[in-house]
Structure 1
Amino acid sequence: MFTVRQMRYFEALVTTQHFGMAAEMAGISQPALSVQIAEMEKMVGAPLFERMSKKVILTDIGRRFLPVIHDVLNRMGEFEKISSTSRGPYHSAWRIGIISTVAPYLLAPLLPAIEKHNPELKLEILEARTETLHQKISAGSLDLVIAADSFPDERLTRHLLFADKFYLASSSEDKDCAGGLPSPEAIKPERLLLLEDGHCLRDQMLDLCKTGNFRKEFSATELTTILQLVSYNFGVTLIPQLACMAEHKNRHLRISAFTRDKPQRKIFLFWRNRTPHQADYENFAGLIRQAVTPLLAEAEKLVNAHKPAA
């Protein structure tokens, strides 16, 4: 039947919905990937994917194979990890995925902490959106995920890392926000700037602001881009506490706490239930908290120092 390699190619194509992107993810040429997918379809006797003009989607038979392939790859990943356990938890690099609104701000303090306290630990880091990370950890191609969402998956263990407060980001020239706002709901919908669809931070902002209306002519893939637009008074947005120390250097950006509500998101570390490294991952969670706590404290001090006068 299918080889493990073919199943990994299948998973890559499901994730990207594009032969070229799947080939890049799998580290092979596009013709080679196409040949392997065609070979799988030949063995099944039916198409696994429906080829459309700009993407591919699973056929009915492909959807039936998907959970089986995910389960096999998950078990293979656990087999590989178990086989190296006797040589210690750090024999091979840990594959960790981090959502893009956390990765750049968390890695800055975390990597030096690892080098200082646990230099034998090596990480292979993937920055991606929540949905992609969920697929990859479920399929066994990631060992750990740091994300703000709680995955609805009983096969995963979640470990709370920290609470990440939301502050109001506005331009220093924005007179409407000069005195602060009581809550995210007070933001004018037509002034709200968001990340593009697919980011969990976007969904969290919409939920907190309790609106479906926002500036649809502006969207971005990176929080830094949104904050640049805010600094030039094109709108306002919410900024996580984790990002404040990196982003406050923009002198045109005003970061302020809400005067009434204290909105926040929770950041978790996820791993598969069957891992033999649960104790090691729990220790790693402690190291993350140790690394990020001073950064969060500095951010809160910074915001409190710029509270508007009563």
Structure 2
Amino acid sequence: MTITQLKYVLAVAENQNFTKAAEKTFVTQPTLSMQIQKLEDELDVLIFDRSKKPIELTDVGQKIVQQARNIVNEANRISDIVDQQKGYIGGEFKLGVIPTVMPTLLPMFLRNFIKKYPKVKLKIEELPTETIIERLEEGHLDAAIAATPLMLQNIKERPLYYEPFVAYMPENRELEVNEKIDVSSLDLDHMLLLEDGHCFRDGVINLCKTNRNYDDEIFSLESGSFETLVKLANEGLGMTLLPYLHTLEIKESERKHLHHFKDPAPAREVSLLYHKSELKMQIIEALRTTIAGVVKGAITFQNVQIISPLPQGKQKN
């Protein structure tokens, strides 16, 4: 049994196809198939059910794949140990970032990080939380930035900052400029929401603690863009909630419509996520300190209440 054979098994398990797995591991399909066959012969079991299309893992194959991930991760740790001993911070690093964080946080820290750590080849993808979790667990991301707490067994969370929610309410004429509001005054029936799949949407629903009454709606719209929600609110079609960093880019003429919440202000916890195997920790720590350094000057709020980013049915007590 070799590490290479286990890597081939993981590639087939991920792609459910021998040809695609061979392309991803940069070998010929016959070479990959032969090595997996040798492993199956040595173990005297079938790892893959080749009669299924796409290829599926057998029951014992699922257990082998789980252990193979652990072994490959531990093998990769040897390179990490050497890099840390040499004080080397470099190499490829794959980072996932959720859509509601990417446009505000990335411009704040990316230039500083690239300048300070030029040997790191940073590959950044904008991904929803569910995809981030899958890729972290499968080893296809080295780290991610997402709203927490997610409380997952194999994923570690290091909070970076707490970002308050801010109400954008142009249709409310009764509020004074800069007047703070109560969470209890929110009504989900008049709330413009991000589309399903965004954890910020789930946070807003959790904050309002109510279900939307779809029967009375004249129109229904869920957008993937905060900018769209602000424009619709300006047209008198409702109100919306924004993460604090997004409000820094609001036009000066629109800032009078922003209203902060009374303490403790509802907020989301934004964290750096990585697998419990703790590979490439020297780069993860460099990323954490860089982000913390730039965000500290932008967000100074202390008295906040963290709102869960999980859909109500998935929250843990």
TM-score by structure 2 length? 0.70
Task: Name the counterpart of 1:271.
Answer: 274
Output aligned runs, 1:115-264, within 5 Å. 115-171=114-170, 173-175=171-173, 177-178=175-176, 180=179, 182-213=181-212, 217-246=220-249, 248-249=250-251, 251-252=253-254, 254-259=257-262, 261-264=264-267
Give the RMSD, CA atoms, in angstroms. 3.7
Query: Which stretch shows the higher mean deviation, 183-192 or 124-133?
Result: 183-192
Deviation of 1:261 after TM superposition, in Å, equals 4.6
Equivalents in 1 of 2:91, 2:48: separation in Å? 34
- In the comparison of the two structures, how many residue pairs are matched? 269
Deviation of 1:148 after TM superposition, in Å, equals 0.7
Deviation of 1:177 after TM superposition, in Å, equals 4.9
Task: Name the counterpart of 2:79.
Answer: 83
SS in 1 for 2:278: coil
Q: Which runs of 5+ in 2 are unaligned?
A: 38-45, 302-317
Deviation of 1:112 after TM superposition, in Å, equals 1.7
Query: Which stretch shows the higher mean deviation, 133-142 or 143-152?
Result: 143-152
TM-score by structure 1 length? 0.71
Which of structures 1 and 2 has the bigger CA Rg? Answer: 2
Q: Which runs of 5+ in 1 are unaligned?
A: 14-18, 50-57, 299-310
SS in 2 for 1:212: coil
Paired letter, 2:131: T
Deviation of 1:11 after TM superposition, in Å, equals 3.2
Is 1:75–1:140's contact at 8 Å kept on the other side of the alignment?
Answer: no
Equivalents in 2 of 1:153, 1:113: separation in Å? 31
Equivalents in 1 of 2:110, 2:293: separation in Å? 12
Is 1:164–1:240's contact at 8 Å kept on the other side of the alignment?
Answer: yes
Is 2:95–2:125's contact at 8 Å kept on the other side of the alignment?
Answer: yes
Paired letter, 2:173: K
Equivalents in 2 of 1:66, 1:230: separation in Å? 49
SS in 1 for 2:253: coil
Output aligned runs, 1:4-19, within 5 Å. 4=7, 7-8=10-11, 10-11=13-14
Equivalents in 1 of 2:60, 2:173: separation in Å? 56
Task: Name the counterpart of 1:304.
Answer: none
SS in 2 for 1:123: strand
Query: Which stretch shows the higher mean deviation, 265-274 or 133-142?
Result: 265-274
- Counterparts in 2 of 1:266 and 1:43: CA distance versus 1, 3 Å: closer
- Counterparts in 2 of 1:71 and 1:134: CA distance versus 1, 3 Å: farther
Task: Name the counterpart of 1:291.
Answer: 294
Paired letter, 1:167: V
SS in 2 for 1:158: strand
Among 43, 49, 68, the residue aligned to 1:44? 49
Q: Report percent identity of matched pairs.
A: 23
Paired letter, 1:222: S
